[in-house]
A and B are shown apart, each in its own frame.
Chain A
Amino acid sequence: MDAKILIVVLLAFSLIFFGCAKSGTPQDPFGGLQSSWPHLVQVNGTEGNTTGAEASGGVQAGGGNQTQNQTQGGAAGGNASGQDLGDLFNIDTAQPDSGSGYNVPAAGE
């Protein structure tokens, strides 16, 4: 699992730098978000999207997916509150314990 995380993060970083071979004027990646989620974005050149998400669950409540996602653009870093709607689309897929041990008989009984 650790190797998997490392590989994905390294891939992410390499895609970031590959995709930005040409530098340009930083844009406001949350322009769309600002209009629909004003409480998540602060105006005056600051923007941010903090998500403290956890997802899924069942009675077991799967998916303790805690992510802190600070993004900064424009002149200064910004803090934002509220939960991004996108974070809610994360449901745990793990199944609960099945009690398999109780299906093991005793030979000779």
Chain B
Amino acid sequence: MFFNVLGCNRVVIGMRGLILAVALLAVSFAWVNPGQTKLLEAEYDYVACNAQFAEDFVALREHCALLHDVPIMDSSDYLDDINNALADARTAIDEGNAVEYGTAMWTARTEMLALGLAVVGDAFHDKSVAFFNCVQNGTAPVKEDLETCRASAFDTGKEGAHEYLAAEMEQGNVEAAELSAMGADVVGMERVLDYGDGLDGDIDAAFDSHDTAEVTRLYQRNNRLVLLFRLEKMISVMDFAEPIIEAGNNGNKEELLERIADLKGDTSELAEECAYSPDVGAGYALKNGECWSDALALMARFNSLQALYWSGGG
């Protein structure tokens, strides 16, 4: 009802589109993968295994130092920092905050590396052969516990990865189908979805290898596929919209068509530059970062077309 007030003079009509766009952008939210929590929890479990090992290993060194009367560093601050980072990660998972989760994991990594370096440095300070032998003999069972813990985390991670990707694929298929039903050409989107099927087939082997490098490669491939699907969707929408806008009476028709043409060219170019490969080499992650950086700029241009379209009267 209150939109009647908006119709009170022609000047406000132009504002209406902008207001709508601003309001909608404010309340809009990204699709949250229902498999995200399980995936993050599996990663958390893996890191918790490593944190427990660090704690056990530090306790072993302290025990051996006491036994063989050698000085030992105080590791309590390092362990506190690691546990605090894990607690932050746990909170972020419970809140569904993927950004905070990533920050917490980055901190955990930094603190764990710091502890590792400190242990190496401490080994050079007044340690006896007996001390080193004591640590070496005690490490095997601690490592065994670590591998058992990690194996369980990888199993959970495998399930989580399947669910996560399945949810992505389902949503992607829905979006492609909806656009196709409207008459848009979605061949690019469907091609990316086919690549996603291939990715799913590689999940088991990667997690069963218990090799984090293999697992990380899956994530990198998925990262590239998500990017490419978004770019292909943008191209499909722009291809679909162009003739409709051309034939219509939108007040901003000329500007819309010009911006769409430019953006379509840039988007197609980026999609080509960031073409998918299942072979993850040394520069893949870096390339993902560069591609996303460029893509986000294109996405901002794409999303700004909404306000321009509406402010032209739709």
Contact = CB atoms under 8 A, between A and B. Distances in A.
B219 to A, nearest CB: 4
Interface stretch (B65-73, B108-116, B125-133): B108-116
Contacts of B175: 54, 56-57, 61
Interface in B58-106: 58, 78, 82, 89, 98, 101-102, 105-106
Max count, chain B CB within 10 A of own CB: residue among A54, A65, A71, A95: A95
Contacts of A20: 5-6, 8-9, 12
A102 B212 contact: yes
A91 B250 contact: no
How extensive is the interface on chain B, given as a class? Answer: 35 or more
B30 A62 contact: yes
Contact of B5 (A16, A27, A60): A16
Provide the main secondary structure of the chain B interface. helix
A59 B240 contact: no
Interface residues of A, number: 72
Contacts of B234: 91
A58 B112 contact: no
A109 B115 CA distance: 11
Nearest to A97: B39
Contact of B7 (A28, A67, A83, A107): A28
Given A63-B28, A101-B43, A104-B108, A19 B20 contact: no
Given A32-B250, A88-B240, A61 B105 contact: no
Contact of A106 (B6, B50, B89): B50
Contacts of A106: 49-51, 53-54, 112, 146
B312 A32 contact: yes
Contacts of A19: 6, 9, 11-12, 15
Interface of A: 4-5, 8-9, 11-12, 15-17, 19-20, 22-33, 35-37, 49, 54-65, 67, 69, 71-73, 77, 83-109
Given A62-B30, A101-B43, A108-B57, 18 more contacts: A20-B12, A26-B8, A31-B313, A32-B314, A57-B230, A58-B226, A59-B172, A64-B32, A86-B310, A88-B240, A88-B241, A89-B305, A91-B234, A93-B303, A98-B223, A101-B40, A101-B42, A105-B113
11 contacts: A26-B4, A29-B6, A29-B7, A35-B249, A54-B175, A60-B31, A60-B226, A89-B305, A93-B30, A106-B49, A107-B113
Interface of B: 1-13, 15-16, 19-20, 22-24, 26-33, 36, 39-40, 42-44, 46-47, 49-51, 53-54, 57-58, 78, 82, 89, 98, 101-102, 105-106, 108-109, 112-113, 115-116, 119, 143, 146, 164-165, 168-172, 174-175, 178-179, 182, 192-193, 196, 212, 215-216, 218-219, 222-223, 225-230, 233-234, 237, 240-241, 244-245, 247-251, 292, 296, 299-300, 302-303, 305-306, 309-310, 312-314
